[in-house]
């Protein structure tokens, strides 16, 4: 009844009766898009192409977000101009891509992706033995381009000039019904590009949409096809998934659909262990919170969190075999990074950041002499400190050590010396050493000067962009 009412209001046809070559055209009253949500540069690109005699539309996820009343982060443009024709119209335009050529148009730091309408005749396109399309630069009409897109909600075109939306596959109905539906035969579409299975998960979790049964049914069976996709492309998709603002929901959906194998295969083991589950959950919730707050997140911190319990397991094994603490940790980190780099094509900088975060953890145990001051000067101190607080909050280590470092990080020089003295003094009952903060130090806590971004160079080098601490021991 509701669907019939929506069709009556929008003037759309049922999916069965719809001609895929003829779009449903929605005006401003039918779609309700607020033109103020559009990027000025997106309007500039479409108008430049249209003034040159070409068709040009905002397309894909940007239209989907506009229909949902959300300001898009990225704007893609679709046109009937070829990549070479597009390039000639803009001063800073670059043709990229092997599988399908696209044009990147730059306005300062703003990048817009311009694609030529793709054709549906891909019978002669090179494919691998599993049916994955390797290269396909066949151009076509807008209707063919819509048919080539993955999901109905991503196959709509918006013309800023007349504020019309063109809908070929019932995307507007699916948006209103919160349904994620693939265009065409699901098995064939997943075989052409297995990454679409990861995109199903990301969009379903991010948008809180239900996966249409026929769209979801083949995924568990076809999941192994992900292994045939180049590692760099899988990594890009995983990064989008983890930094979508719904990382925890995405990983839960990955496990549900059986897609985590080969990506983060040990995640199952971690999430089945109480400490591992709590640690990963806290890390992902912290990441999601930062993204929703408009803050940046370090991929290095994120992957260091996801793979920490794998490192911890190997670190324990190396120490049990006789290796000293620090060398054992380096060996464990090497093993994990070598394994995951092969599967996920982790970039060198991300791997370096992960190693720095992990290698700092034993150094937090040393709270005497000059060691705390030296650690505070580490360029990645803030990331390592945040990571330490996650370990405390998850119950992996005593929360007292996190309290001590929070007091040391925020304290003045007098407070810091008192903390070091208390850590060096024998504890009540005869114990001694580096695990007690001491009552005096806690009572004489120094004034905060600059809050959490203080403390050596660690608070000034950009590490505050890592996942924010979930611990509240005076840090905020």
Q: Of residues 246 and 471, which shows the higher confidence score?
A: 246
The answer to whether residue 182 sits within a structural domain is no
Residues 467 and 192: their CA atoms lie apart, in Å, by 36
Among this protein's residues, is 236 annotated catalytic? no
The pLDDT tens digits for 337-386 are 988 777 677 888 999 999 999 999 999 999 999 999 999 999 999 999 99
18 pLDDT above the threshold of 70: no
- The active-site residue, picked from 65, 136, 150, 174, is 150
The answer to whether residue 473 sits within a structural domain is no
**Same-domain pairing of 194 and 98:** no
The pLDDT tens digits for 181-217 are 999 999 999 998 999 999 998 999 989 999 999 999 9
**Same-domain pairing of 317 and 415:** yes
Q: What are phi and psi of 192, to 5 degrees?
A: -60, -40
Q: Of residues 1 and 330, which shows the higher confidence score?
A: 330
The answer to whether residue 229 sits within a structural domain is yes
**Same-domain pairing of 306 and 405:** yes
The SS3 call for residue 445 is: coil
Give the lowest-confidence range in 213-227, 236-250, 428-442.
428-442
Among this protein's residues, is 386 annotated catalytic? no
Q: Return all residues near 418 (Cβ < 8 A) that are at least 6 apart.
A: 438, 440, 441, 444
Q: What is the pTM of this model?
A: 0.73
**Same-domain pairing of 120 and 155:** yes
6 pLDDT above the threshold of 60: no
**Same-domain pairing of 192 and 170:** no
Q: What is the pLDDT of residue 347?
A: 84
**Same-domain pairing of 354 and 390:** yes
- The active-site residue, picked from 65, 76, 288, 353, is 76
- The active-site residue, picked from 74, 335, 461, 465, is 74
- DSSP string for residues in 217-266: TTHHHHGGGGGGS-HHHHHHHHHHHHTSS-HHHHHHHHHHHT--TTTSTT
Among this protein's residues, is 74 annotated catalytic? yes
**Same-domain pairing of 204 and 306:** no
Q: What is the pLDDT of residue 476?
A: 31
CATH of residue 232's domain is 1.10.110
Q: What is the pLDDT of residue 127?
A: 55
**What's the domain count of the chain?**
3
**Same-domain pairing of 44 and 149:** yes
The answer to whether residue 167 sits within a structural domain is yes
**Full residue range of the structural domain in which residue 255 is found:** 187-263
**Same-domain pairing of 306 and 256:** no
Confidence bin at 275 (pLDDT 50/70/90): confident
Q: Return all residues near 22 (Cβ < 8 A) that are at least 6 apart.
A: 143, 168
Residues 464 and 184: their CA atoms lie apart, in Å, by 45
**Same-domain pairing of 228 and 312:** no
């Amino acid at each position: 009844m509701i669907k019939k009412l929506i069709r009556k209001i929008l003037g759309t046809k049922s999916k069965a009766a719809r001609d895929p070559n003829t779009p449903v055209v929605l005006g401003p009253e039918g779609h309700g898009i607020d033109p103020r949500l559009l990027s000025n540069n997106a309007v500039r690109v479409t108008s430049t192409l249209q003034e040159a005699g070409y068709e040009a539309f905002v397309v894909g996820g940007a239209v989907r977000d506009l229909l949902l009343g959300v300001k898009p982060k990225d704007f893609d443009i679709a046109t009937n101009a070829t990549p070479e024709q597009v390039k000639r119209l803009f001063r800073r335009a670059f043709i990229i891509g092997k599988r399908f050529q696209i044009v990147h148009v730059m306005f300062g730091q703003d990048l817009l992706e311009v694609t030529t309408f793709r054709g549906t005749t891909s019978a002669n396109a090179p494919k691998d033995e599993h049916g994955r399309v390797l290269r396909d630069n066949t151009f076509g009409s807008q209707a063919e381009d819509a048919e080539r897109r993955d999901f109905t909600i991503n196959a709509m075109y918006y013309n800023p000039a007349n504020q019309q939306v063109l809908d070929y596959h019932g995307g507007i109905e699916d948006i209103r019904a919160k349904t994620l539906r693939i265009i065409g035969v699901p098995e064939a579409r997943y075989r052409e590009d297995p990454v679409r299975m990861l995109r199903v998960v990301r969009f379903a979790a991010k948008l809180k949409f239900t996966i249409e049964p026929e769209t979801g049914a083949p995924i568990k069976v076809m999941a192994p096809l992900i292994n045939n996709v180049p590692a760099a492309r899988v990594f890009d998709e995983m990064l989008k998934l983890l930094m979508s603002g719904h990382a925890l929901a995405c990983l839960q959906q990955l496990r549900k659909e059986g897609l985590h194998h080969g990506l983060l295969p040990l995640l199952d083991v971690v999430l089945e262990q109480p400490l591992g589950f709590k640690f990963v959950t806290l890390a992902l919730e912290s990441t999601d919170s930062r993204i929703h707050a408009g803050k940046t997140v370090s991929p290095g911190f994120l992957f260091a969190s996801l793979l920490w319990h794998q490192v911890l397991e190997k670190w324990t094994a190396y120490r049990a075999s006789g290796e000293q603490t620090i060398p054992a940790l380096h060996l464990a980190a090497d093993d994990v990074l070598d394994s995951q780099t092969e599967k996920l094509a982790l970039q060198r900088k991300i791997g370096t950041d992960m190693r720095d975060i992990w290698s700092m953890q034993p150094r937090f145990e040393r709270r005497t002499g000059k060691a705390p001051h030296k650690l505070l000067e580490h360029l990645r101190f803030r990331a390592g400190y945040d990571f330490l607080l996650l370990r405390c909050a998850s119950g992996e280590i005593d929360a007292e050590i996190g309290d001590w470092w929070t007091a040391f990080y925020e304290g003045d020089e007098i407070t810091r010396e008192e903390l070091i003295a208390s850590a060096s003094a024998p504890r009540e009952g005869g114990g001694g050493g580096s695990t007690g903060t001491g009552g005096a130090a806690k009572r004489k806590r120094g004034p905060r000067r600059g809050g959490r971004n203080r403390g050596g160079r660690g608070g000034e080098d950009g590490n505050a962009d890592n996942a924010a601490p979930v611990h509240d021991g005076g840090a905020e």
